[in-house]
Amino acid sequence: MYSLFAESLLKVVILSSLLGTATAQTYSTCNPLLQSGCPADPALSKSVAVDFTSGPSSDFSAYGAPTYDSNGAAFTVAKPGDSPSISSKWYIMFGHVDYVVKAAPGTGIVSAATLQSDCLDEIDWEWLGGDDTQAQSNYFGKGITVTGYNRGGFHGAENNHDVFRTYSIDWTADQIVWSIDGTTVRVLTQDQAASGQYPQTPMYVKLGAWAGGDPSNAQGTIEWAGGVTDYSAGPFTMYVKSVHATDYSTGSQYSYSGTSGTWESIVSDGGHINSNGNGTPVSSVQAPAVTSHVSSSAPLAFGNDDNTESVTATRTGWPWSGTASATASTVVSASISELTIPTPFLVICASVIVALGLDFS
């Protein structure tokens, strides 16, 4: 009975965190921690190098009509609602990814290169069009934002609108390392992550650009993005020359066993999870201090329609999520048109915890 109640309460906490006015990546066609019968994730299970200067890749699905030229994949924002992106058709379960990116200029324009999972884990790189001197790193676990938007940091990246740089993520069971042109700029160990929110489930690659400064967005989003976007000064284009990815696990597909969301609960079909080890350990003392921290009010979402015409919403931040009502219904089930969790119910849950002296730590 205790374990059943604990599992139910965890789902309530996750769902309630998705109902805030600003969320992390809260779009998933099937969240394995909240739904049964979710399809397994196709595994990369190797290394792959994708050169977008040669045109579109069969490894990626495109949304919002990105184009291709000698600079690579081009993600152009020219008018309200533009949010072109591409997503890999495979997942990695721990691994290394190099993104060769030239960020889009333009006040309020946001360029993004991320790793995202079905249960809303994510590891991020992003760039603001009004600042060509810095890049932002961030992470989230299980879509939970109730602890605040205090996990991001800015790092020096001069002329990121004008020159290509290699932005890397090395992700293991023990740590996440962000680097720029081979130089480590941030290290996050599992122990340093917010409680229970270290990303550790199969992730796919997603890249794209959007207008965080669109006048229709929430004021917090516009401020975080650097100001209101003037579309008449555009178009604004992010370029991705190439992506190189290595999967640190093997097998044909990855699936979730249970609803804990831990890496130990992930099952490989025909291979092994974390079979390639934990990479090369990097001490956090080797990483320089971040240039500055992301504002605690920074919203985190992206775009206008989350790769599906069935969901439309005014965006509240980055990466790729909509308003609470739209994303909550999408996360739980495509057949549920609306989902609300009454505040009194959450209060009752909290009261039960206190009354019974339950400890979920």
> pLDDT-based confidence at 195, cuts 50/70/90?
confident
- pLDDT digit string, tens, across residues 111-147: 999 999 999 999 999 999 999 999 999 999 988 766 5
**pLDDT the model gives residue 145:** 67
Taking each helix axis from N to C terminus, what angle separates 2-17 and 343-356, rounded to the nearest 10 degrees?
A: 140
In this predicted structure, the answer to whether residue 204 has a pLDDT above a threshold of 90 is: yes
**pLDDT the model gives residue 277:** 58
Q: What percent of the chain has pLDDT over 70?
A: 67
Q: How many CB atoms lie within 10 A of CB 97?
A: 23
Residues annotated as part of the active site = 122, 126
pTM for this entry: 0.76
User: Domain boundaries in the chain?
Assistant: 20-293
Q: Which token pair is 106? A: 């333009």
In this predicted structure, the answer to whether residue 9 has a pLDDT above a threshold of 60 is: no
Q: Is 101:113 a contact under the CB 8 Å cutoff?
A: yes
In this predicted structure, the answer to whether residue 337 has a pLDDT above a threshold of 80 is: no
Class of the CATH-defined domain 20-293:
mainly beta
* Closest among 11, 40, 37 to 267, alpha carbons compared: 40
- pLDDT digit string, tens, across residues 279-324: 444 343 344 544 444 444 344 434 333 333 222 222 233 343 322 2
**pLDDT the model gives residue 100:** 98
